[in-house]
Structure 1
Amino acid sequence: QREPLHEGACACLSAVVVKRMDAAAKLEHLRSLRVVELLAAAKDVMGASGIDMSEAFAGLAAATSLELLDCWDRLATRGEDAAAETAARALRNSMPLLLHAFASEDLEVSMCTMAFLHAYLGRLRKLQSTPERLALHEDQLQSLLFHLARRSVYPEDFTSFDYTSSSGMIGGLATSAGIGGRDGTGGGDPDDDDAAFVDYRREMSTLFRSVARVHPALASSFVQSTLRSMLESIESSQWSHVEVALWLLYQLGEGLPDGIVREKDGIFEQMMLALLASPAASHPHHAVVMLFFEIVVRYYRFFLQQPAALPDALRAFLDERGIRSRHAGLRSRSCALLLRFVKQTLKAPTMALVEAAAQILEVLSAQPRLSSRSDSNGGGARDSASVHGVGGSGAGGSARKCPRLGEAEQLFLYETCGVLLGSGLASDDCAAAKLEELLSLPIGELQMLSEAGAPSGADATFLEARASEIAHRISV
């Protein structure tokens, strides 16, 4: 009700709190002010009155915690263990308020805590050699993980997905904060809100990976519990909650030491097996399916250790969940990821890779040829309408419907098929026959372009366009 007075008081207290002095004197200064108790009491009053935490108040809480952290670090460095423990205890007492600010639905309020949280996790890394001291902070880390996961959930109405790269799908989805919807700031440009949350979720991923490095067992247990809960109730859970469980799994592998990720029969392997056994790859929301593919490709070494799991993963790529999907963005990204996945898993002892080449050839053979297109440039490459297989080629001339692919998508599949046929997995005769069939498609189009006569009245512009088209097809 008195916003200028409130902000002024917070600014005044912040100046008192951050006053530079010796660590021991600063700790006594903060204790005499009883600032932690004061802020906790104020937070309770605001909560009882239905008043949202302000950015100024969150900034004061973060500044106080950061000063306590600095005292703890400096005192510990000087070997003043008793005083350092006092500072660490005061810091732990300040964490509930700090995490309350972090969990705020207001994006700007939550962002006030980031500098402290990064510094806090950096300080905890120094405790890894003394597990008993690190254990004193497990409750705070557990709460941080919970709020971090919650703040990374997308609203149900979010649609602006970026399928152009892994960073786009994993950390660059544009949205606004909160499980229940937008952050309520109002009055801003939705694009600006989306861009702000892109940066915010990247902060979330950095924080989570830091927690995983500080306490791998705690982070792994949290992710396993969250993933199990979501996969067991996947059909009744909101897509955004399922997505964030998969996002946590992806981020966990990024943060854990490489030895834990590759550990035979370890917790990460258990989670990958649970994911592959679940219906996540068939989820009705494309964001969940796309993240499934990103995880599969990112942690391909799992399939080298567990080759029996490879056929199911390949099937997901090759059917209506992946390169045959009617969703243009999902289909396009799947074509690119399939190429990476095939290159990474060629050493796996399985014939599923050879079978994959036949299915890819079927999709390529089903693409409309030059004579059936509306123009010589292959118009409609972005059209997601289905076309039927042209029969007699691919996997027995199957009549399965295949979506029309763009040029870039077809190039990914041509390269994938070439990698598979040249890998030595198939017999020489089989590889030669499939390779001849594969090359007959672009060669046939080049012949048609080269032999087709110019229509009457064609001018130099038409001939230049025809020559440019031929040159382009030769180059790719």
Structure 2
Amino acid sequence: MACESAFPAIMDEQALMGLNPNADACYRQRALAYFEQLKESQDAWEVCAEALAKGIYSDDHVKFFCFQVLEHQIKYRHAGLTGVQQQLIRETLMKWLQFQLMSTQSEKPFIKNKAAQVFALTFVMEYLTLWPKFFFDVLSLVGLNPNGLDIYLRTLMAIDAEVVDRDILHTPEETRRNTLIKDSMRETCIPALVESWYQILQTYQHSHSELTCQCLEVVGAYVSWIDLNLIANERFVNLLLSHMSVEELREEACDCLFEIVNKGMDPVDKTKLVESLSQVLQSAGFFNLKQDEDVDFLAKFSRLINGMGQALVLSWTKLTKTADMKVTAETLQALEAKIPLMLQLLMHEDDDISANIVGFCYDYLHVLKQLPLLTDQQKSNIEAIMLAVMKKLTYDDEYNFENEGEDEAMFVEYRKQLKMLLDRLAQVSPELLLESVHRVFTSTMQSWQTARFMEVEVAIRLFYMLGEALPASHGAHFSGDATKTSTLQDMMRTLLSSGVSEYQHTSVTLEFFETVVRYDKFFIVEPQHIPVVLMAFLDHRGLRHSSPKVRSRVAYLFSRFIKTLHKHMNTYIEDILSRIQDLLALTSPRRSLFMFETAGVLIVNGESPADRKQVLMRSLLTPLMEAFPPLLAKLTQESDEERQTALADCLGHAVGFASRTSKAFNNKQTVKLCGCSEVYLDCLQTFLPALSCPVQRGTLRSAVRSFLHRMIICLEEEVLPFIPSASEHMLKDCEPKDLQEFIPLISQITAKFKSQVSPFLQQVFMPLVLAIFEVLSRPAEENDQTAALEKQMLRRSYFSFIQTIASSGMNEVMANQGAENIERVLFTIIQGAVDFPDPVAQKTCFIILSRLVELWGGKDGLVGFPDFIYKHILPACFLAPLKPTFDLSDAQTVLTLSECTLTLKMIHLKRGPEFIQYLQQECLPSLQVSPEITQELCQVLQQPDTKVLKNYMKVSTAPSFFY
């Protein structure tokens, strides 16, 4: 706009038409442009203020629009407004509020909320300076008018969000301002606000329940930081308790009381508050729970009792640290008086009500754990909690196992809370827990055929949970404590001999297998039970179950079972392998992955001679090798993208399965000792052509690369002939991700084979580096975070690769690249050390520089390198720490500074007095460092202890280091 005053004094009606959600796109675009115009104008927004003050528009969208424009002015331009304009905003808000008082119709909630936000923003900006009487002005205007009070209460909640809410991040300046606002409010207007709340609650409790609930929410929000005596007094609490008997109000009243109880206080005062509240609630009959009570209210009530209980536990914990034994004992007594009610709520059939009391329950058990001796009543309480947990762990009939939705997810979360209680029970009384679970488990297993699935499942589940709740000696439950060992062994025998694995419900089946694997060490003690369990795994109960979910999970559990007990499997190996033959297919990737791994473990760890192992491994992997070439040929000819993806996935799975079998080898059972080298070399030969496939490169390269990683570990130098051609294919048409994932492979080869791969590395070094440079130099959109992150990760990988070469003692790889190439690489390292604000990469770069100085910086080092040290490495050691982005509060940056210091020490070690002289006469003066600091630094550098230099650099890396 060329001239501010030329802006029309009336609103653009055509633009306003675009505010309607159903308006045409061109109108909506015009409305958006108009909004931006009004926001940025010095005074054009005043037409919105006038529209609100005079109630010109009845359209809700226009009113909301006007408030949005006002909000922008207050939030972002308040300081730039003239005194007259600030006054205009105040008057507009009060006139609009007055308009509400006279209106017979209430505004829509979204308008009232936006208005409340604007009131709150104005309050925050002006209360301490221009509008100290904000609340008095509002209250004197609205009186007891319901429409006005509605806006007043919404404004209070909006102020709470702006000034108090801890979940909203504030700048230090905002935090200081908010503290001043709260202090000022406490001094001037809080008593008046509290009085207004009391009047609202009393006046409208029977006629305007929504208004009363709003007011209760306000009290709950503000009680955390105002004087509690203004609220926790007889007249207020009695009023709140009367609300507890009104159906429409009682949930909010519960929440309000919860916030009162939750307020931070002295432990003695807190106990008194909770106890007085408790007595009043008990007298009013709230502790006598009715079975037909509304569950929503009981969930809130349970939360309130939980808060009261936890408050008493906190008071007791604080008081135990004092010497007042009497008050401590009284607090414990008050706490234990709530236990019967806590147990009733914990046992309630509604899980929400039960879940809300778990915190109190957990904390109470922690109190009992700290007591030197338990009374009979306390032991009885422990038992009651234990029985409640066992009962509440049980699934109900409505649980949908086939299609788990939100309700099921909530029950799973609730079960986790109950598990925490069970773990805590185990800490307080392990003997009692063991005895109770044993009793429930044994009785259920005796009659599982006639029991309902949820009873059988929970009995096995409890047995499973014991394994995590009770401490295991040396990782096993079947050594150490005799009673525990004997009981657990007895339960395992019962589980296996009862026939419960035949129970026809997926939850019981899964729990059976989970428990068998949980206690797999039992079979080391009693291996005679292994055949029974193997059959359960291998038949219709396990790997051939009708449910895909069960089959998939059992495949994983079976692999774990075999891994633990492979020493006991020799007799069964070939039988198992023949039984799982049909399950080693490409069609069920997750299950097959574990099946191949299991087969590998069985073959490798068996007691067969090497030639037999080779035969077994070949018969395992040959179907994969035979399937691979035809699938690859099919993929290269396929044009349909969906079919391409499916074929590539299938090929990827084949490589992945072969790779998984290799995980069975270890230092004692190597590929060579097992006679399996040839089989895996054949696999390599079969899989490598996939690297040159022109379609679905990402999937295929990733799979083959992972296989190569495994083969480098397993085949050792036998893999080396395959590396050059594999590298050549992987470096073609690279994306950042391809390169980033290829570099670790080369680094692995470098670190493992060192001089053996030196000729190959010298050959591949520059093509790889140039491929990296090419990718890093590609332009990317300014706000493309993904591309920026990919480049950062690639840069890190590149520096890690250079570091691997430098630290593997293979300096000839870089040294033989020709002076121009060496210089190019060195400059990238200097750039990485100084220019990019990435401390992880910077640290790596300084490690490289230090190593290169060590290798090439001496008298017989690389020609021209000392000159490079003085011109580039040395300045980098000072320039990097002085960058504004060099943040010493960051741990990685501190490590970078440490490596930078070590680089300086290494230069001094290699160049001696010449280096000190260069620092004094050329380097530091050119960086404008004062003679005094130059002298000081040179002295510190010559100290033998590196720590002295590190500490000096830490305090000196600031602009004050310069003149």
Please classify the TM superposition score into its range, dividing by the shorter chain length: 0.7 to 0.9
CA distance in 2, matches of 1:474, 1:54: 57
Counterpart for residue 83 of structure 1: 327
Counterpart for residue 318 of structure 1: 538
Q: Are the aligned partners of 1:152 and 1:201 in contact in 2 as well (CA < 8 Å)?
A: yes
Q: Choose from 626, 631, 654 the match for 1:473.
A: 654
CA distance in 2, matches of 1:74, 1:271: 42
Q: Choose from 420, 428, 441 the match for 1:206.
A: 420
Counterpart for residue 109 of structure 1: 353
Matched ranges for 1:302-381 at <5 A: 302-347=522-567, 350=568, 352-365=569-582, 381=587
Q: How many angstroms does 1:204 deviate by? A: 1.4
Q: How many angstroms does 1:233 deviate by? A: 1.2
CA gap 1:78/1:447 in 2 versus in 1, 3 angstroms: same
Matched ranges for 1:101-140 at <5 A: 101-127=345-371, 130=372, 132-133=373-374, 136-140=377-381
- Does residue 261 of structure 1 match 2:481? no
CA distance in 1, matches of 2:540, 2:292: 53
- Larger displacement relative to structure 2 (326-335 or 153-162): 153-162
- Larger displacement relative to structure 2 (105-114 or 30-39): 30-39
The amino acid that maps onto 2:577 is: I
Counterpart for residue 296 of structure 1: 516
Counterpart for residue 93 of structure 1: 337
Gaps spanning 5+ residues in structure 1: where?
163-173, 175-190, 369-377, 382-405
CA gap 1:14/1:328 in 2 versus in 1, 3 angstroms: closer
CA gap 1:28/1:354 in 2 versus in 1, 3 angstroms: same
SS of the residue 2:248 aligns to:
helix
Counterpart for residue 249 of structure 1: 463
The amino acid that maps onto 2:477 is: V
CA distance in 2, matches of 1:161, 1:467: 29
1:34-89 alpha-carbon deviations (Å, 9 max, x no partner): 52881794332x42876656223222322222232223222222133333233223
Counterpart for residue 437 of structure 2: 223
The amino acid that maps onto 1:270 is: D
CA gap 1:98/1:26 in 2 versus in 1, 3 angstroms: same
Matched ranges for 1:393-432 at <5 A: 406-428=588-610, 430-432=612-614
SS of the residue 2:607 aligns to:
coil
- Does residue 155 of structure 1 match 2:396? yes
CA distance in 1, matches of 2:503, 2:280: 46
- Larger displacement relative to structure 2 (15-24 or 74-83): 15-24
Q: Are the aligned partners of 1:316 and 1:322 in contact in 2 as well (CA < 8 Å)?
A: yes
Counterpart for residue 187 of structure 1: none
Higher Cα radius of gyration: 2
Counterpart for residue 387 of structure 2: 146
Counterpart for residue 461 of structure 1: 639
1:200-219 alpha-carbon deviations (Å, 9 max, x no partner): 12111222112112221121
Counterpart for residue 278 of structure 1: 498
CA distance in 1, matches of 2:564, 2:280: 53
Q: How many angstroms does 1:250 deviate by? A: 1.5
CA distance in 1, matches of 2:597, 2:493: 29
Counterpart for residue 167 of structure 1: none
Counterpart for residue 290 of structure 2: 47
CA gap 1:282/1:8 in 2 versus in 1, 3 angstroms: closer
Q: How many angstroms does 1:12 deviate by? A: 5.9
SS of the residue 1:155 aligns to:
coil
Q: How many angstroms does 1:339 deviate by? A: 0.9
CA distance in 2, matches of 1:366, 1:198: 31
Q: Are the aligned partners of 1:75 and 1:84 in contact in 2 as well (CA < 8 Å)?
A: yes
CA gap 1:79/1:360 in 2 versus in 1, 3 angstroms: farther
CA gap 1:13/1:411 in 2 versus in 1, 3 angstroms: closer
CA gap 1:201/1:353 in 2 versus in 1, 3 angstroms: farther
1:222-258 alpha-carbon deviations (Å, 9 max, x no partner): 2111111211110111111111111111222111111
SS of the residue 1:266 aligns to:
helix
CA gap 1:443/1:49 in 2 versus in 1, 3 angstroms: closer
1:434-456 alpha-carbon deviations (Å, 9 max, x no partner): 33432333234346658x9x7xx
CA gap 1:318/1:34 in 2 versus in 1, 3 angstroms: closer
The amino acid that maps onto 1:461 is: S
CA gap 1:135/1:311 in 2 versus in 1, 3 angstroms: farther
Q: Are the aligned partners of 1:323 and 1:331 in contact in 2 as well (CA < 8 Å)?
A: yes
The amino acid that maps onto 2:445 is: L
CA gap 1:285/1:32 in 2 versus in 1, 3 angstroms: closer
1:315-336 alpha-carbon deviations (Å, 9 max, x no partner): 2111221112222111111111
- Does residue 195 of structure 1 match 2:409? yes
The amino acid that maps onto 1:74 is: K
What TM-score, normalized to structure 2? 0.38
Q: Are the aligned partners of 1:361 and 1:438 in contact in 2 as well (CA < 8 Å)?
A: no
Q: Are the aligned partners of 1:213 and 1:257 in contact in 2 as well (CA < 8 Å)?
A: no
Q: How many angstroms does 1:123 deviate by? A: 2.7
Number of residue pairs aligned between Structure 1 and Structure 2:
403
CA gap 1:15/1:35 in 2 versus in 1, 3 angstroms: farther
The amino acid that maps onto 1:228 is: T
Q: Are the aligned partners of 2:347 and 2:354 in contact in 1 as well (CA < 8 Å)?
A: yes
**Structure with the larger helix share:** 2
CA gap 1:365/1:57 in 2 versus in 1, 3 angstroms: closer
CA RMSD of aligned residues (A): 3.4
CA distance in 2, matches of 1:305, 1:209: 26
CA gap 1:34/1:114 in 2 versus in 1, 3 angstroms: closer
CA gap 1:105/1:448 in 2 versus in 1, 3 angstroms: same
More relative contact order, 1 or 2 (CA 8 Å, 6+ apart): 1
Q: Are the aligned partners of 2:386 and 2:433 in contact in 1 as well (CA < 8 Å)?
A: yes
CA distance in 1, matches of 2:270, 2:338: 16
CA distance in 2, matches of 1:7, 1:449: 64
CA gap 1:58/1:343 in 2 versus in 1, 3 angstroms: same
The amino acid that maps onto 1:243 is: E
CA distance in 2, matches of 1:419, 1:18: 56
CA distance in 2, matches of 1:408, 1:49: 48
CA distance in 1, matches of 2:356, 2:247: 18
Q: Are the aligned partners of 1:335 and 1:413 in contact in 2 as well (CA < 8 Å)?
A: yes
Counterpart for residue 445 of structure 1: 627
Q: How many angstroms does 1:95 deviate by? A: 0.7
- Larger displacement relative to structure 2 (327-336 or 117-126): 117-126
Q: Are the aligned partners of 1:17 and 1:30 in contact in 2 as well (CA < 8 Å)?
A: yes
SS of the residue 1:133 aligns to:
coil
CA distance in 1, matches of 2:600, 2:255: 65
- Larger displacement relative to structure 2 (112-121 or 241-250): 112-121
CA gap 1:60/1:415 in 2 versus in 1, 3 angstroms: closer
Matched ranges for 1:10-49 at <5 A: 10-11=254-255, 13-14=257-258, 17-18=261-262, 21-28=265-272, 30-31=274-275, 35=279, 38=282, 41-44=285-288, 46-47=289-290
CA distance in 2, matches of 1:440, 1:20: 70
Gaps spanning 5+ residues in structure 2: where?
1-244, 658-963
